[in-house]
Amino acid sequence: MLSLSAIAKAEKNKLSTESTFIILLDICLDEVVRVCYNTDDVIWNGNLYQAFPFTIGEIGEDSDGSDPNVELQIDNVSQAMQYIVEESGGGNNTEVILRVVNSKALDLATAEMEAHFVVQKCTVNQQYITFTLGSEYSARTRRPLNRYMKNNCPFKYKGLRCGATSSLTTCNHTLQDCRTRKNSKRFGGFPGIDQKGVYVSE
């Protein structure tokens, strides 16, 4: 059962109130995008959420009747987010965190509601960026979720986590290539583990 904070309960039960419930989105692309469904920007937990138009559809099912999903449509008229999405490879498998907070309880560290999703599909046109969001857990995805590899870096070359500044345009994501590019301090692999890698659940 959904548990609201004391402030949110009091505001919800008033016949008239100036407070609102605000939807916050963390779209965890190479660069985390934080937006809110509100007329003004919101600061929550030290992070700035920019007021930005988006809509969230009703939860449905995939065409094969399996995992539930929901469509998130973000305004793309200004194309402000399109570049970030394209740089992140369309955002597939990106985590999207949806939170609901109350405007009179923004100093609380815990949201009134929180849900985690994963981007299953992304389409872009002149009007909208549309993410199809699925459940964070899917019976069709690999378990455990993460594989720690000895000689393979999962970071996008020259992306935010890689940070390489080499003039070389490509990388095969090995430690040797990382050393050649003088970027081994940010190598995303784990040279000290077994050659086959290690699977972990978190």
Render pLDDT for 129-180 as a digit per residue (tens, 0 to 9): 999 998 765 444 444 445 677 788 888 899 888 999 999 999 999 999 999 9
Render pLDDT for 25-60 as a digit per residue (tens, 0 to 9): 999 888 889 999 998 999 999 999 999 999 988 765
Tell me if 2 sits within 8 A of 99, measured CB to CB.
Answer: no
Give the separation between CA 10 and CA 78, rounded to whole angstroms.
39
Kindly list the distances between the CA atom of residue 121 and the CA atoms of 31, 58, 64, 133, 188, in Å, as whole numbers in the listed order.
18, 16, 15, 7, 26
Give the separation between CA 21 and CA 38, rounded to whole angstroms.
9
Token code pair at residue 96: 């999207």
Nearest to 55 by CA among 82, 35, 31, 32: 35
Tell me if 114 sits within 8 A of 151, measured CB to CB.
Answer: no
Domains of the chain: 6-135 (2.30.110), 142-202 (no CATH)
Specify the pTM: 0.57
Token code pair at residue 38: 């509100």
Tell me if 144 sits within 8 A of 161, measured CB to CB.
Answer: no
